[in-house]
């Protein structure tokens, strides 16, 4: 079955450590997105990519980095510069750019700073 | 960024009743989408309604869109305990910008 796989499901980060969240899709979608969700909050856009080897900053990109070397993969690195990284991270994809299509979401990664 | 805002923030109903959630937004949109999120899971796309459409149905879901009032509503008929989840509206405007999500409505359906 086609879908998006996020791993790991739970991740613990020590202070000053970089961690990478994996997102892989086999839907042949061009566009991929990373959102952050905090308790009681909506989703906030971190980064998005509409084509391989290209990506744009979202509303809260500071302290995060991404790459898009393959169509299927869009990993997110949470760097030590992100001062409050504890949150639920959601990866999504869509067949084309922007808002014209429904998004398919992964099941999320819950990141906790210890 | 433009953003949909759902109302109410939380809703509790008995099984079999209808549930209505509303979404208001600020600027012109091309389409509006509704998503469901079960606790601790990813979002699931429910329905997309375009700006030139007024109403759309999918199973027990009915979505309306009033562009003059910049609002949309999601109606779930004959609710079930399995409908317990958070529901989000998401909007897209111009260009190829990604969807912007509201904060959601938490629906509890009591058996």
* CB spacing of B44 vs A105 below 8 angstroms: yes
Pick the more confident residue, A1 or B111. Answer: B111
Residues in B closer than 8 angstroms to A107, CB to CB, are: 41-42
CA–CA distance, A54 with A49 (Å, rounded to integer): 6
With cut-offs at 50, 70 and 90, classify the pLDDT of residue A114. confident
Q: Indicate if the pLDDT at residue B2 is higher than 60.
A: no
What integer pLDDT is reported at residue B106 of this predicted model?
96
Assess contact for B32 and B87: CB atoms under 8 A. Answer: no
CA–CA distance, A65 with A19 (Å, rounded to integer): 10
* CB spacing of B102 vs A42 below 8 angstroms: yes
What integer pLDDT is reported at residue B5 of this predicted model?
86
Residues in B closer than 8 angstroms to A43, CB to CB, are: 43, 88, 101
With cut-offs at 50, 70 and 90, classify the pLDDT of residue B107. very high
What integer pLDDT is reported at residue A100 of this predicted model?
77
Return the C-alpha torsion angle B20, B21, B25, B31, nearest 10.
-70
**Nearest-neighbour CA in chain B from A14: distance (Å):** 23
Residue of chain B whose Cα is closest to the Cα of A107: B42
Q: Does B30 touch chain A (CB under 8 A)?
A: yes
Number of CB atoms found within 10 A of residue A1's CB: 3
pLDDT tens per residue, range B34-44: 999 999 999 99
Using CB atoms within 10 A of its CB, is residue A91 exposed (0-12), middle (13-18) or buried (19+)? buried
CA–CA distance, B74 with B17 (Å, rounded to integer): 14
Residues in A closer than 8 angstroms to B32, CB to CB, are: none
Q: What are phi and psi of B82, to 5 degrees?
A: -70, -15
Token look-up 């999500």 returns B101
* CB spacing of B43 vs A42 below 8 angstroms: no
SS3 call for A100: coil
What integer pLDDT is reported at residue B27 of this predicted model?
86
Q: In the beta sheet, which residues pair with residue A33?
A: A48, A92
pLDDT tens per residue, range A50-109: 999 999 999 999 999 999 999 999 999 999 989 899 999 999 999 987 777 899 999 999
Mean pLDDT over B42-60 rounds to 96
What integer pLDDT is reported at residue B1 of this predicted model?
52
* CB spacing of B44 vs A58 below 8 angstroms: no
What integer pLDDT is reported at residue A39 of this predicted model?
86
CA–CA distance, A17 with A42 (Å, rounded to integer): 26
């Amino acid at each position: 079955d086609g879908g998006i796989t996020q791993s790991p499901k739970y991740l613990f980060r020590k202070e000053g450590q970089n961690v990478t969240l994996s997102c892989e899709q086999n839907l042949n979608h061009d566009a991929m997105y990373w959102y952050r969700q905090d308790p009681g909050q909506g989703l906030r856009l971190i980064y998005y990519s509409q084509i391989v080897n290209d990506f744009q900053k979202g509303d809260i990109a500071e302290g995060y980095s991404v790459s898009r070397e393959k169509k299927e993969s869009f990993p997110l690195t949470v760097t030590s510069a992100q001062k409050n990284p504890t949150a639920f991270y959601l990866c999504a994809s869509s067949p084309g750019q922007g808002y014209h299509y429904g998004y398919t979401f992964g099941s999320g990664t819950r990141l906790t700073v210890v | 960024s433009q953003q949909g805002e759902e109302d109410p923030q939380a809703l509790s109903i008995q099984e079999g009743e209808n549930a209505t959630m509303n979404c208001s937004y600020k600027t012109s949109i091309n389409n509006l989408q509704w998503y469901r999120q079960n606790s601790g899971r990813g979002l699931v796309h429910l329905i997309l309604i375009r700006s030139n459409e007024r109403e759309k149905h999918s199973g027990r879901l009915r979505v309306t869109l009033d562009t003059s009032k910049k609002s949309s509503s999601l109606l779930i008929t004959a609710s079930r305990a399995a409908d317990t989840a958070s529901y989000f509206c998401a909007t897209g405007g111009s260009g190829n910008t990604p969807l912007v999500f509201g904060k959601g409505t938490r629906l509890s359906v009591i058996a």
